[in-house]
Every structure is written in C-alpha cells, then in structure tokens.
Amino acid sequence: MSSRKGSVWSDYFKVDKELIIILLLVSITAIIFFFISNQRGFLNFFYLPAILGAYFYGKRYATLSALLSIILVFSLAYAYPETFEFKRENELSRWLDIMTWGGFLMVAGYSMGHLYEKKEQATEEVRKTYMGIVEMLSLLIDAVDQQTQSHSYRVSAVSALLAENMGLSDKDTEDIRVAALLHDLGKIGVNREVLEKVGHLSKAEKKEVESHAYLAVDVLAPVGGQVIELLPLILNHHEKYDGTGYNAMLGNNIPLGARIIAVADVYDALISDRPYRKALTPVQARNEIVSNSGVQFDPNVVMAFERCFPKLETESHLSHLKLGI
C-alpha cells in the first residue's frame, strides 16, 4: 500500500521538463521586456518562446507559452501603465492594442504547433513505412535460410539490449537494431545448398558464404536515405577485434554497431541447433563469448553482454522477441 502511495505522489510531482523550458523562455523574455524603455516595440519578442515551443514540442506548449506571455504583459500593463508608449491616450484603445497583440500571438503559437504536429505525423508515417519494408526484408531472409528462422529477429533484440546497456542514444540503438535485423540479407544471393550444407565447406563455398555481407550492401545501397548509415554495420558484422575477420579490420576501427551485432549474432548461433551440432546452453554460450573477449569480440561489448546475461538467460527458452522487437 505504501509503495502505491509513493508512486501516486511521485506521478503527482513529476517534472514536465518541456514545460519548464518554455516557462524559462517566457520568464527571460519578460525580464528583458521589463527593463526595455520601448516596451511596445519589444512585444514582438514574445513570439520567440511561442515559436520555439511549437517547433520543439507542439501546439500544447506553444499555446501555453503564448497564454503565459499574454498574462505577463497584461499584468505589467496594469501595474505599470506609464511604461507603455502608445500614440493614442485613450485607455480603451490601449487595452485593445494589447488584446490585438495577444490574439495574434495565440493564433501564431497554435498554428505553428499545429504545423509541427502535422510534420511529426508525416515523419511517423514515413518511419512506419520504412520499418514495414525492413520487416518484410527480414522475413525474406527467413524464407531463404530455413536453418536459422527468426535468427535475425533475435540478433536484433539482443543487439538493441546491448546498445541500451552501453548507454547509446535512442537513434544509435535503433540503427543498430535495424542493421541487426538486416545483417544476413545478403544470404538471398548465396546458393541455398551451400547455406544448408552439413559437411565441411570448400574454399569456394566458404568464399561464397562470406560474400553475403557485401551482397546485403549491394541490395540496400540503392535505397539511400537513412539506410546508408546502416551499411557499415552490416558490412562489418563478421569482423573480429584482433583483425582476423572478413575484412581484417582491427579493434575500434570496426564500427561500434558492428561489434555489438557480432556478439549478438554469435550468441544466438551458439544457443541454436544447427545441422552440424546441438545448441549450447546459455551459460556455455556465455563462457564462449567471454573467453573470446579481446580476440573475436570488443571487451566493452562483452562486459555489456555479461551485464545483460541474466535477462538473456531467463528468456533463452522463449521466443527472443520479448527482448524488445
């Protein structure tokens, strides 16, 4: 009961950071306004908090900013009438001028906020379309490689978990998640018999399998836009920290996202049944990852993996989609 009460009070006193920023902007403008001699001319500066509120936070904060500015100006006009210089001395005209200014400020703030929200809606629709295409491509990967169905989803989930644990930004985490979802896309260009072969691969077959990273880049590069940022992560997800990977990249020269995906990729492969071996237990897989820290894997990523391992172990018997996909 006490914890529930604490939660209620904590919600009640939750700080609205965006509103505080808007209040600070209005307050700073009001302070400057108070010390300016030609205050009527300075009234237009109150559009600045309203426009900034609209641009960054939408019409709610823009309207609140405009309303607070109007209240402040009306209060100052009432308390210090001599500070406002108007051509007409009529008291009613003076208030009508201020009301006209306030009306325009409210309309401008609301309109700018409305346009911002429309823009955000359009951006969200584009994002959903983009993610829909990504999801379809990941299903195509599963259709091509029946041995590792849902592997890309699980690697994506684990990669995102590691990125979050390492304190990466939301954007970087999302880029890594999507890159992990598409990391095996190039397998659509690899001979299916080679992918499903149980025995030892010949040199030519091994080279064909290794080409899947390049094939993925060839498929995705024409898409352009945000996808371009994902290509280095996909291309280098088989690089090894000691420089013995596909492209012989060494240590921190390998993109961080690729280093994260490498750990997630190997972990999921180890705990999955393959034609040539049985799955390892999560603990066995963890020990394998840790033993290759500084050799195959980035030690910092391995440390993040160890911190996340209790969650990974708990959900290892489930569909890994619960980890964040």
Q: Which amino acid is at 27?
A: S
End-to-end CA distance of the chain: give it in Å, rounded.
34
On whether the CB atoms of residues 60 and 113 are closer than 8 A, the answer is yes
Tokens 């190039």 correspond to: 186
Length of the chain: 325
Q: Which residues of 276-312 are buried (b: 16+ CB within 10 A; e: fewer)?
A: eeeebebeebbeebeebbeebbbeebbebbeebbeeb
Which residues fall within 8 angstroms of residue 187, CB to CB, at 6 or more apart?
Answer: 141, 144, 145, 195, 212, 215
Phi, psi of 274 (to 5 degrees): -125, 160
On whether the CB atoms of residues 262 and 296 are closer than 8 A, the answer is yes
Instruction: Report DSSP state, residue 201.
Output: P
Quick one: which H or E segment has residue 59? helix 59-79
Q: Out of 87, 128, 187, 240, which one is annotated catalytic?
A: 187
187 is catalytic: yes
Distance CA 165, CA 312 (A): 13
Which token pair is 160?
């995102």
DSSP of 266-291: HHHHHTS-BTTBPPPPHHHHHHHHHH
The catalytic residue positions are 187
